Amino acid sequence: MTNLASQLDIPTLKNLKPFDSLNEREIMQITRCAVIHRFQPGEELTISTADSQTGRYIDYLIVGDVELRHNRQRTQVNSGSQQARKPLHEIMSNFTSALAHTSSAILRIEKSSLESTLQVHWDQIFECEELHIEGDMHSMSTLLQNRCLLALPPENIETVMALMETVEFSAGEYVIRQGEQDDSYYTILHGRCKVTRRPHDLAQEILLAELGAGASFGEEALIADTPRNANIQMITDGSLMRLDKKYFLSYVVDALITQHNYSALISKLRNGAKLIDVRGSDEYKRDGHGLHIPLPMLRLRLEKLSKGREYIFCCNDGKLSRTAAFLAKQQGFSTGILEGGLNSVPREYLRRTK
C-alpha cells in the first residue's frame, strides 16, 4: 500500500468516472487521502465492495492488466481501456475474483469523500443555473421518453439533465444540415421537425420522417465520428434540448454500451448471444462473421430480432458496431460490441470462429 495518490497526474484521474465531471481542485481534494495498492503478476486483488451500503472505498485499476474470473469464465481488463474508467466493483459485477496478469495497481478512494465532493459540485451547478422546477420537470419527462436515457444509472440522468441546454428554433430553420459536422445530440422538447436527405448534389430532397416532442436525433454521426447524413429542419417553432458530443459519449454511450474482448465474446456466444456483423456487403463476403445486417439496414431489421436474446455487434474498428449497439439499445435490446473491432483480433482466431 502506497500513499502516492497526490503524484498521479490530473489527466489520468480525469479519465475516471465520475472524476471527468470535476475540476482540478475538486479532484485533488478527493485524492488527498487516497492510496495506491500494488500487485504482482498472479496475485489476487483485494477489492472494496463499494456497491454495498457499508462499503467505505471505491477502487480503480490505474496500472497493468487484470484477469477477472467466475467459474470457468475469464476476461482481461487493461488499465487504459474504456472499461477501466469505471470503478472495479462495477466491472466485476459478473465475476467473483480478479488476479493481476501483469504488475498492476489500484487507486483506492474514500467513498464518503467522493460523494460529498460530487454533492457540492452539483449543488453549485444547480444554484448557478437557477433551474425553474416546472420547466425542469417537463424536460425530465420528455427526456425519459427516450428508452436509452431511461436505462442510464440515476446519477447519469441527473448529470445529463444538468449539462443539457435548451435552444430555440423558428419554423423553417435547419437544426442539422447534411454533410456538415455538428457536435450535439438533440431531443425535441416542443414543436415538430422533418428529416430529409439529398441522395446526390443534383437530386431533390427526399422526406424520410417527421419528428415530434420526445424524439431524439444526431447520435449516429456523433458515435461514428462522421458528417451528418441527413437534414433536420423545423416544421414549426420549437424548443430542443442539446447535449454536447463529449458529454453524450461519456455519460450516455459509454454508460450503455458494454465492450467485450475476444475471449469474453466467445463465452457470450456459447451462452446464447448472437454475433451481428454490420459492415458492408463486400467486406462481409470477404471475411464476414455471424449474422450480416449492414448498419444502414439495421433499423428495418431490428423488428425481426428477439428481445429475449443478447446481440454483440462487430465491424473493423468498433465505430460502426458502437453505433449499431446504441441504435438497438434505443429499441430495448440487450447489446454489446467487440472491443477494438475485428482488427484487434488475430486472424487465426477469427478463422476458427467462422
pLDDT in tens, 16-25: 877 776 777 7
The one-letter amino acid code at 309 reads R
Domain boundary among 218, 251, 284: 251
Q: Within a domain: residue 122? A: no
Backbone φ and ψ for 270, nearest 5 degrees, come out as -65, -25
Verify that 228 and 276 share a domain, yes or no.
no
Which of 9-18, 98-107, 287-296, 327-336 is the least confident region? 9-18
Under 8 Å between Cβ of 58 and 19: no
Specify the number of domains making up the chain.
Answer: 3
Over 80: is that where the pLDDT of 145 sits?
Answer: no
Give one DSSP letter per residue of 35-88, joined into a string.
EEEEE-TTPBP----TTSSS--EEEEEEESEEEEEETTEEEEEETTSSGGGS-H
Q: 323 and 264 share a domain?
A: yes
Is 88 in the same domain as 199?
no
| 159 and 85 assigned to the same domain | no
Clarify whether residues 98 and 180 are in a common domain.
no
Picking from 209, 236, 251, the residue at the C-terminal end of a domain is 251
CB 77 within 8 A of CB 91: yes
The residue among 161, 165, 168 whose CA lies nearest residue 191 is 168
CB 163 within 8 A of CB 251: yes
- Confirm whether 126 is domain-assigned: no
User: Is residue 87 within 8 Å of 111, Cβ to Cβ?
Assistant: no
Residue 125 has pLDDT above 50, yes or no: no
Instruction: Report the pLDDT value the prediction gives residue 48, as an integer from 0 to 100.
Output: 66
The pLDDT-based confidence of 140 (bands split at 50, 70, 90) is low
pLDDT for 241-255, tens place per residue? 899 999 999 888 888
Q: Domain containing 61 — which CATH number?
A: 2.60.120.10
Clarify whether residues 263 and 245 are in a common domain. no
Classify residue 292: in a domain, yes or no. Answer: yes
* Same domain, yes or no: 106 and 10: yes
Residue 320 lies in a domain: yes
Please give the residue range of the domain that contains residue 341: 257-352
Among residues 251, 274, 291, which one ends one of the domains?
Answer: 251
Model-level pTM?
Answer: 0.54
Give me the CATH number covering residue 348: 3.40.250.10
pLDDT band at 171 (very low <50, low <70, confident <90, very high): very high
Distance CA 282, CA 279 (A): 8
Tell me the three cell numbers of residue 254: 459509454
Residues 225 and 277 placed together within one structural domain of the fold: no
Pair (195, 271) in one structural domain: no
Residue 124 covered by a domain = no
**Looking at the predicted structure, is the pLDDT value of residue 240 above 70?**
yes
Greatest Cα pair distance in the chain: 67
Helix (H) or strand (E) holding 242: strand 238-244
- pLDDT above 90: percentage of residues in the chain: 18
Q: Which percentage of the chain shows pLDDT scores above 70?
A: 83
pLDDT in tens, 75-87: 888 888 888 888 8
